[in-house]
Each structure stands twice: as structure tokens, then as C-alpha cells.
Copies of this chain bind each other. A is one copy, B any other.
Amino acid sequence: MDVGEPLVPAATVARLPLYLRSLEQLGEDDVATVSSSRLAELAGVNAAKLRKDLSHLGSYGTRGVGYQVPNLAAQIRYELGLDEVSPVVVIGLGNLGQALANHAGFGDRGFPIVALVDVDPAKVGTRIGSMTVAHLDDLARIVTAHDVQTAIIATPVGAAQAVCDQAIEAGIVSVLNFAPTVLQVPEGVALRPVDLALELQILTYYRPRVGRRDENVRLLG
């Protein structure tokens, strides 16, 4: 477990930010150390799973005591690549895009939004929050100027693939897609889809309903 570089399983990677979130909350309360069982409780996962997850990043807790809160947080940040700030561009400024542009949660957690882009002439040039909307054609210039690697796509479905292609062409290597459609990206580009209505649809299945087996009604990852 430390040959070359240990490979972290996808399921673990998806949970590391969750642990980090809890650790940051603990840090704000000046808690110096935390046990796996307590941290697992905060993160809403099983303690054994948490320990196994942490073992993948070669983390050192102290037996009998637990983990150093700031220490472990730093290790997770390093592993995820969060040790430096990642500027983000938002593409598509409909309702959702505008909200995401204003959403403080991104900047607070290391993803400042540094540019906004759209194609609609009615939107280009207007100000949203403290930024001016640029035209999609300027994307390549913006990406280079701000060294942006991450794009949030919030365009209509019809435009999403073309916009995505253009963003990758401009140098984007990491895409968070809010358009409810499947995007194709070349090898070497990271993509994550987020479909808000789809989440509600999943919830609906688990919502208790009459005349249906409802044993499996519970919370889910």
C-alpha cells in the first residue's frame, strides 16, 4: 500500500469530499482530533468503510486516539487536488446558469467563478453579480487568460454538445453538465452529469406509495 502511487477506487473518491466537508466543520469548532466512528457518523457512512477509504490514501491516524482534523483534511485536499484554487467558467445563463453564477458555495469551496459565457445577444454584455457576460466566441481567450480548466454547462439540451466540444477545444478538461442530456467527451476529459429533475424522479420511486411494496423506503447515498 504505497508502491509508486496507490490507486484510489472510484467509490472512495466520491466519498472523500464528504469527509472533507465534515472535517472542515469540525475544524471551525476547533476540534483537534476525531475518531473514525465519529467522523463516519457526521458523514453518514459506516465507520469501517471510512477507515478503509482513508487507508487508500495511506493516511495515518493514531490508534487509541483517531485522526488529526487539520492533518487529515489537508491529506484529502491533496489527494483530490484541492490544494490549489480552480477557477470555473459558467456557460449558458438561463435561470439555472444565473443562479449557479451567483452561488456562493462554489467560491467558498475553492471554485471561484471567473467568467460567464452565453450566445444570446440580449445577455452578452449584461452584468450578473460582479461579472459581465461574454460571448461564447471569446471562450478560448478567457480560458487561456484565467487558466480555467473547469466549465459548468447550463445551456439548453440542444446546444449542450456543441458548447461542450467548443469548451474542450478551448482547453477545458473538466466539465460539470447540468443540461439533461448525455454528453460525449474525448479521453482525458473528466465529465460529471447533474440532472436535477432526475433526482426528483428517483426520489419518487422511494417515496412511500399506497398499493406498492414500500419496504425499501429509506435514505440513499
Residue A161 lies at the interface, judged by CB distance under 8 Å to chain B: no
Is there contact, CB below 8 Å, between A104 and B100? Answer: no
Please name all residues of chain B whose beta carbon is closer than 8 Å to the beta carbon of A215 when the two chains form the complex.
7
Is there contact, CB below 8 Å, between B105 and A99? Answer: no
Nearest neighbor of A216 in chain B, beta-carbon distance? B7
Residue A96 lies at the interface, judged by CB distance under 8 Å to chain B: yes
Please name all residues of chain B whose beta carbon is closer than 8 Å to the beta carbon of A219 when the two chains form the complex.
185, 189-192
Stretch at the interface among A29-37, A66-74, A77-85: A77-85
With A44-B182, A104-B95, A220-B192 already in contact, the answer to whether A80 and B201 are too (CB < 8 A) is yes
Is there contact, CB below 8 Å, between B202 and A17? Answer: yes
With A173-B207, A207-B81, A209-B81 already in contact, the answer to whether A197 and B7 are too (CB < 8 A) is no
Q: Is the contact region of chain A dominated by helix, strand, or loop, or is it mixed?
A: mixed
Nearest neighbor of A86 in chain B, beta-carbon distance? B204
Q: How far is the CB of A162 from chain B (nearest CB, A)?
A: 16
Is there contact, CB below 8 Å, between B86 and A95? Answer: no
Is there contact, CB below 8 Å, between A188 and B173? Answer: no
A106→B203 CA distance, assembly (Å): 13
Is there contact, CB below 8 Å, between A106 and B7? Answer: no
Residue A198 lies at the interface, judged by CB distance under 8 Å to chain B: yes
Residue A65 lies at the interface, judged by CB distance under 8 Å to chain B: no
Contact of A196 among B20, B80, B100, B212 (CB under 8 A): B100
A-B interface, 9 closest residue pairs, ranked by CB to CB distance from nearest = A99-B99, A190-B206, A17-B201, A44-B182, A109-B197, A174-B207, A191-B219, A95-B102, A17-B198
Chain A residues close to B by CB (< 8 Å): 4-5, 7-8, 10, 13-14, 16-18, 20-22, 25, 42-44, 79-82, 86, 88, 95-96, 98-100, 102-106, 108-111, 149-150, 173-176, 180-182, 185, 187-209, 212-213, 215-221
A-B contact pairs, 23 of them (CB 8 A): A5-B212, A7-B213, A16-B205, A20-B201, A44-B182, A80-B201, A81-B209, A95-B103, A96-B99, A99-B100, A105-B197, A108-B197, A174-B204, A176-B203, A185-B219, A187-B217, A190-B206, A190-B219, A192-B199, A192-B203, A192-B219, A192-B220, A193-B221
